Structure 1
Amino acid sequence: MRYIISFLLTSLAATAPITAPATASAEVPRVVTDIPPVHALVAQVMGDLGSPALLLAKGASEHDFQLRPSQAQALAEAQLVVWIGPELTPWLDRALRGLTTGTSLALLDAPETETRAFSADGAHMEADHDGHDDHGHDGHDHSGTDPHAWLDPDNARHWLPLVAAELSRLDPANAATYAANAKAADARIAALDTRLAAQLAPYSDRPIVAYHDAYGYFSAHYGLKILGSIALGDATAPGAAKLSALTDALAAGQAACLFPEAQHDPALAEQLASGAGLRLGPALDPVGSTLEPGPAAYAALLTALADGMTTCLGAGSGP
């Protein structure tokens, strides 16, 4: 599938316009982004010329998101939508097909993007797989291509010039500014990457278990070892037998730390860590749902992941 797609406008309810940041010029394209890290990258390329709108603001989940009428209006008026792709947000794919006449830049489909399959570093440790399948939420599927590609900073660096090129096509008068902003953002991410690589290097031999399999790109890039993840149903906690099996699997895996996740109740992770004799790490946030949106959010996201992992891994392997 081509990664730039023009969609036909088929329907749009009359709604109040979305509240979006003012731009420096009427010529600056109207841009919508899906998640905070993508928003941060696009915001850096746009710089002082304007600001992209963000669909999943602080606290929102990509798994069960519902578009507000004002956001549907923003999509209909957007000249450019920059998003990860339907692998992460199938609901946005449907919305784009029905609402957007502008250009869609699906980053996972860009030829420059390095993709990987789910669970390349370890197996699911499934607590309630049937509940996960039957709950009916509209989240991404945990098979096939892993959509969390923004957690590899090399991908982020590949995407910056793609965004600059699309903005320049829509706004050629500011092409030089977009290119310069992308180059500056690339340098910042490269420096961040060097710092995080040095921070995480001492822990390459300390296996971890994550709440769900969102960290394959991050762990592969920085040489970390993920033994597996806990695949959970959204509706119910695991029964006693499954809980016991999970605890045994975690204990046998000799992981150093177990990490809960910011968008999920930590109670199960706490119980499993205690039962398996693992150190419980801080809650990780792979999509940036706890961060303030803006140009600095991408660096803040990767820094928070690295800091959270080293906080636990550096403290020792015992509970």
Structure 2
Amino acid sequence: MLRPFLVVNAICVSVPVVAEVPKVVTDIAPVHSLVAQVMAGLDVPELIVRPGVSPHTYAMRPSEARALQQADLVVWIGGDLTPWLSKPLETLASGGRQVALLDQEVTQTHPYREFNHEDEHEEVGHEAHDDHDHEGRDPHAWLDPQNARAWLGLLADELAELDPENAALYHENAAAAQLRLDEVSSAVAALVSPMQQVPFVALHDAFQYFEHRYGLTLVGTVSLGDASSPSPARLAELRADIEALGVACAFAEPQFDTALLEAAVEGSEARILVLDPLGAHLDPGPELYNDVLKAMAAGFGACTGS
């Protein structure tokens, strides 16, 4: 006996193809934080330079090199800050889009400053300056919140172009991040206002953008470059300036030894405090950028007791 065949009609359901969110790689934690805010609710960007390590002389790990190879978009400050990253971007990330923030029209930049100390090139060999030359643009541009505000909008535009399906969310996230940043910047301005008439010195010239935005006055540095060692004559000159100007505070950074700064303020009433422009002790993520600004403000506030 023949059994009847059971005929099953296959029903083809059309399933829309959802575009993948772009893979984004960033250089330093403050830039990573800004990108993370714009990408909130969709994905998390990759971070190359680990917190607590100087970005000027960083050595990439294999996992970070792979992240560059897979990136649809790389967002970095530029070769002025991380010259070692230029070649990997050329060889590993050539297939993706790259945004060097210092090169964007929306970015306000400042040149490096001179503080009338003796010629730094007499103190160290040229090799010490190859990785972080202190001529041309100062790359610490993320410390001006107006730059960060402009970059949030720029990042939203870049991501929306790569991922049109989520364009509205990128722009909503950027607008919300800008509002939060405006509130933080106003609070920072109030906290550092007592510092506006107080001269200070630093290990090296890393805080210029913050100073310009909030009206602060750096009067000297121990050295121009992160790798340079000042001569005894330079230290003596800076020590005289500290005494003559009544400098209240000298600022170091977490990743650098304070011995040279201690030598510069020896015999004066200046206190050594620490400013952290990279968020070395903060957890990477959306909150880090605003937390960096607040920590900077707290550091300057500690100088005046405000």
Give the alignment's TM-score, normalised by structure 2.
Answer: 0.87
Q: 1:283 aligns with which of 250, 274, 277?
A: 274
CA contact (8 A) 1:208 1:226 kept: yes
Q: Which residue of 2 aligns with 1:292?
A: 283
CA contact (8 A) 1:131 1:234 kept: no
1:212 matched to 2:197: no
The one-letter code sitting in structure 1 at the alignment partner of 2:60 is: L
Q: Which residue of 2 aligns with 1:195?
A: 187
- Superposition deviation, residue 54 in structure 1: 0.2
1:310 matched to 2:301: yes
CA RMSD of aligned residues (A): 2.2
How many residues align structurally? 288
The one-letter code sitting in structure 2 at the alignment partner of 1:114 is: Q
Partners in 2 of 1:185 and 1:157 — Cα distance? Answer: 8
Q: Could you say which structure has the larger radius of gyration?
A: 2
Residue aligned with 1:255, SS: coil
CA contact (8 A) 1:131 1:233 kept: no
The one-letter code sitting in structure 1 at the alignment partner of 2:135 is: S
- Superposition deviation, residue 133 in structure 1: 4.4
- Superposition deviation, residue 157 in structure 1: 0.3
Give the alignment's TM-score, normalised by structure 1.
Answer: 0.84
- Superposition deviation, residue 200 in structure 1: 1.2
Partners in 2 of 1:32 and 1:235 — Cα distance? Answer: 27
Closer/same/farther in 2, CA of residues 223 and 242 from structure 1, 3 Å limit: closer
Partners in 1 of 2:137 and 2:225 — Cα distance? Answer: 21
CA contact (8 A) 2:19 2:165 kept: no
Q: Which residue of 2 aligns with 1:253?
A: 245
Partners in 2 of 1:200 and 1:43 — Cα distance? Answer: 27
Which digits, 9 at most, give the CA deviation of each residue in 1:116-140, with x for residues without a partner?
1111xx6164696556544547633
Q: Which residue of 2 aligns with 1:118?
A: 112
Unaligned runs of 5+ in 2: 1-17
- Superposition deviation, residue 219 in structure 1: 0.3
CA contact (8 A) 1:207 1:227 kept: yes
The one-letter code sitting in structure 2 at the alignment partner of 1:83 is: W
Q: 1:164 aligns with which of 156, 177, 180?
A: 156
Partners in 2 of 1:93 and 1:237 — Cα distance? Answer: 27
- Superposition deviation, residue 160 in structure 1: 0.5
Q: 2:42 aligns with which of 49, 62, 80?
A: 49
Q: 1:147 aligns with which of 139, 162, 177?
A: 139
Partners in 1 of 2:225 and 2:106 — Cα distance? Answer: 34
Partners in 2 of 1:203 and 1:289 — Cα distance? Answer: 24
